[in-house]
Structures are given as C-alpha cells and as structure tokens.
Chains A and B, each alone.
Chain A
C-alpha cells in the first residue's frame, strides 16, 4: 500500500479518496438515506428541496437524494464488478495464450480480430438482442466485450515480460504455473493494467447509464442514474432538476476516474 502511494501524485490521491468516499456512501446507503427510495407517494410529487427531502422529490414523490445514494451501488458498483471480473478472466486467458503460443495463440488472435471487427457498442447491442434487455444481461455483455479487449492487451504485455531475464531465472528456480503468473508476471504489468482499467471504468459507467437510459439495461423502479434520467425526461419542461441531479452524479464519478487515468498517463510520458 505504501508503495502504491508513492507512485501516485496529489491529484490522483485526492480523486481516489473522493471515490472511496462515494463508494462508502453507496455501500452504507441504507443507513444514510433520509427516506425510502422506493416509496411512491403521489401527493408529495415535485416537492422543492427541504430538510426532509434535501434534493426534493420526483414525479412519483420519491426522495431524489435517497435514490441517487442507492444508485451509487448500481452505477459505480456494477462498473467495478464488470472491470474486476473482466480483468480476472483476461489475466488467465492472456497468460495461457502467452505461455502456450503455437496453435492456441493463432486461433486466439484470429477470434479476437473477428470480435474486434465489431464496434464495442454494436457488439453489446447484438448480445442484448439475443439475451434480452436486463441488468444481468447488460453486465454479461459488457464483461464479454471488455474481456476480449483486455485479454488481447494482456497477451501482448505478458509476451513482452516473458522475454525478460528474471522470468527465466524464476523458471530455472522451479517456479511455475499460478505462482509464476501471480508473483512475477502480474506485478510487472500492474502499472499499464491499472491505467487501462481506471480509464475504462469511467467509460463503462457511461455505457451502463446509456443502455439503461434507452431501456436496455436496468429496469424501471431501480434507481440507476441513467434510468433516473430516462424517467425524468418527460418532465424536462417544468422540472429539469429531475435530470440534472443524476446527470451531475454521473459526471462527478466519471470525471474522478478520468483524472486518475490521465494523471498516470502524464507520468508515463
């Protein structure tokens, strides 16, 4: 942890601290929320911000702040989940392909070429078209597209590390298999991997929000931010604030992720 601190600069640390704080808010949302985010009360619709409802209420009289707080789980949480699962698979696929080379590698590259011939968003549309629109299927589709891309990138990184002396040394000393990957490979590709993952976290949050907005992701009462914007769009003339708050929430979180990845990019140069 101390090592990690040293490799980060001030802006990155601030962003990470703020994101951890936001993550904590999402984790403990049920204890912090001022009201029940699912409680429909039409007599209380479109209330002005007050002490009881800090950001007011929406078209069904639900507390906007509570919905945004609980929404952290769906937006930030699912993006983290996607990235973690995709990285996990990609490390193993990339490592196996990079070690075995030969025919497995050849077929892997061909399949990747074909899958990468589809733009990511279009591939997700296609997968959703087959699996049907729901949060679970959106997660599956995004995990799939990210895994394809990451395993390709990690394969390249693994191969470049594979040629290094210390790997030979480790192999000669009898290290192999899982231990070799976790002890010697992963630490050496940590920096570029973290950059890509944090840059894409922002992108994945935007994608989840976008797909939920057009109705292909999270479904109605769930307080995901993209879904909240979608619900608020009918009231844009009179109550634009319904769309404003979740939009700002998305922008803040994605911006913080982009700050982290841009700073680490500048360090590389």
Chain B
C-alpha cells in the first residue's frame, strides 16, 4: 500500500512538473521575443538610414522620414512590437535590407544544412564518448584512462576551426581521402562533423566517466555483487541506466553549443549552411536577418531544454520526492 502511494505521488508530481514547465513556456517565449525585438531598437544607427545607404540613395532628412513611416518605425515602441509579433506569428520576419527577399524564407532554406551538421556532430559525439567514458570509468586510473583523460582535456583546448583546417590538410590535401568542401555524400560530412564534435566529446567523456564512477560506489551495486549477479548484468541493467540520468541535463546545452559552433566550422569547409549568410548579414548590418536567426535558434534551444528537463524528471522521479521531504 505504501509503495503504491509513493508511486502515485511520483507519477503525479512528474505530471505536475511537466505541466508547470509547459505553462511557463509561453512566458519564456514572450520574453525571448521581446528581447529579440528590443535588440534591433538598441541599434546605434537608424534602420531607415541603413536601407537608404544600401540602395545607394542619399540619406536626406525627408527620405529618412518617408521610409520611417513606411517601415512603421515612427510609431511608439509597443505598437511596433505588436506589429512585429503579428508578423512573426505569421512567419513573416520582414525582408532583408540587402537582397529585399523575405528573411524567413532564406533562413528556412539554409537552416536544414546547419541542423544536419549539428546533428551529425551530435551522433559523432555520442558514438565516441559513451564507450570511451565507460571504459575509462571501469578501468579507473589505468593507462587507458590516463590517456583518454589527457586527450579529452586537449580536445576541449583546440579551436574547432583550427582542427577543421588540420583535418582538411591531413585527410584531404595530403592523403586525399575526403573531399575538401561542399556537401552531398557522407564523406563530405565526416570532417566537419568530427571537428565540430570533438570539444563536446571531451566534455562528455569526462562527465560519463565521473557519473559511472559515482554510481559504481553506491550501496545497491555492492548489494547486487553480493547477490551474485553477473558484472555485465549489473552494469547494463543498473549502473549505466542510472549514470545516464544526470547526463541528460547536458544535452540541451550541447545542442545550443553545436548550433552556434556550426557557424564557425561551416566557414572552414564551405558548408552551405546558415554560417556564411549570417556572417555576411552581420557585416552588412542586415538586422532583420540577424534578428530572425537569433529568434529561431532561441526558440529551438528553449524547446530542446524543455525536452531535456522533462526527460530528466521522467527518468528520475526521485528528484520530486526528495524535494518534497525537504
């Protein structure tokens, strides 16, 4: 009866947590949208002036005034925000100052390639870090562990773009195994993904190692050994599952890092993603593009963090019980 009550409480509190998180979501998104909108209002120069300069018209006072009323920037800030928000909700982020094309369309065209790269890097990181982290933890303080420890600290110290060039030089120019740039086959993908993934891999290997070691020291593992269970069963059924729980919180952050870092790596391999477009827009002061990029990535990031938080609670309902007792 008592176990049942605890189970019920856990189940309910997990639901309550998810509900709370989902309810607060619109407020966070609203805050994010206000922040992104205000971004542009902090611009030291007048947007109308930039547009006029871009199109080669002399920025006279009348021309600026005319364009301002056309853009709606002469209205109060709050009204501008609602007009902008209405557009955003209809997926209209305005048009680029330079190309005059709708911003959202161009970003949505280029985003999948960047996403693909970030995802490939994510898969790469998982494939490398899980076995390395687990083996280092099982053979703690062995030579293997020390080498992996040193390599992971080196891997977080290498600039991704430099590593990209290094791999490019070694594998594409000297050995000729991989193509130097472009996109298409899986071969094009490997070098960019590896250079993007390496720093996060180093972090994850060490996090997995620490988590597994901590788990192995717990009482229930000793008890399982005393019961005479096989080591492989103890590890796969209990230790790895429990060790994975604290790591789930890192996943959302990692996705954000990979999406941001992809912009830099794309430059090395001429990957046709958002990178070049974004950098050119920053240089040209093409604010709508920057604004749209920041907002879209922030929304993706907010949802990724929501998912990892919920995943974390579902995997570890214990968190709720402990909190209640406190």
| Chain A residues near B (Cβ < 8 Å) | 110-111, 113-115, 117-123, 125-133, 202, 206, 209-210, 213-216, 226, 229, 233, 236-237, 240, 243, 247, 250-251, 254-255, 258-259, 262, 269
B275 contacts across to A, CB distance below 8 A: 214
Does more than half of chain A's interface fall in helix, strand or loop, or is it mixed?
helix
Bitwise, B142-173 to A at CB < 8 A (1) or not (0) is 00000000000110111111100110110001
A125–B278 CB distance below 8 A: yes
Nearest chain B CB to A115's CB is how many angstroms away? 7
Per-residue 0/1 for B281-305: is the Cβ within 8 Å of any A Cβ (1 yes, 0 no)? 1110101001101100110011001
User: Across the interface, which residues of B come within 8 angstroms of A120, CB to CB?
Assistant: 256-257, 260
Q: Does B35 contact A (CB under 8 A)?
A: yes
User: Which of B166, B267, B281 is A214 in contact with, Cβ under 8 Å?
Assistant: B267
User: How distant is A219 from chain B, measured CB to nearest CB, in Å?
Assistant: 11
B98 CB → nearest A CB, Å: 13
Given contacts A125-B263, A236-B168, A240-B169, contact A119 B42 (CB under 8 A): no
B279 at the interface (CB under 8 A from A): yes
Q: B residues touching A (Cβ–Cβ < 8 Å)?
A: 28, 31-32, 35-36, 39-40, 42-44, 153-154, 156-162, 165-166, 168-169, 173, 210, 253, 256-257, 259-261, 263-264, 267-268, 275, 278-279, 281-283, 285, 287, 290-291, 293-294, 297-298, 301-302, 305
- Contact sample, A vs B, 26 pairs, CB 8 Å cutoff: A110-B31, A111-B31, A114-B28, A117-B301, A117-B305, A118-B35, A121-B261, A122-B256, A122-B298, A125-B294, A126-B293, A129-B39, A129-B287, A129-B294, A130-B40, A130-B287, A131-B44, A216-B282, A226-B159, A236-B165, A236-B173, A243-B162, A247-B158, A250-B162, A251-B158, A254-B156
A122 touches B260 (CB 8 A): yes
Shortest Cβ distance from B297 into A: residue: A122
Set B32, B153, B282, B297: member contacting A129, Cβ < 8 A: B282
- Say whether chain B's binding surface is mostly helix, strand, loop, or mixed: helix
Instruction: Give which listed residue, B166, B278, B285, B297, contacts A118 with CB less than 8 A.
Output: B297
Say whether, besides A210-B161, A258-B156, A125 and B282 are in contact (CB < 8 Å): yes
**Given pairs A118-B298, A236-B168, 20 additional interface contacts (CB within 8 A):** A117-B298, A119-B256, A119-B257, A122-B259, A122-B294, A125-B278, A126-B36, A126-B39, A126-B291, A126-B293, A126-B294, A128-B282, A129-B39, A133-B283, A209-B161, A210-B159, A210-B161, A213-B159, A250-B159, A251-B159
With A118-B294, A213-B161 as known contacts, state yes or no: A255 contacts B154, CB within 8 Å: yes
Pick the contact of B297: A115, A119, A258 (CB < 8 A). Answer: A119
Q: Which residue of A lies closest to B213 (CB)?
A: A269
Contacts of A259 in B (CB 8 A): 153
Q: Distance (Å) between the CB of A209 and the closest chain B CB?
A: 5
Contact A229 B162 (CB under 8 A): yes
Is the Cβ of B165 less than 8 Å from the Cβ of A132?
no
In the assembled complex, how far is the CB of residue A203 from the closest CB belonging to chain B, in whole angstroms? 8
Cα–Cα distance between A113 and B27 once the two chains are bound (Å): 11
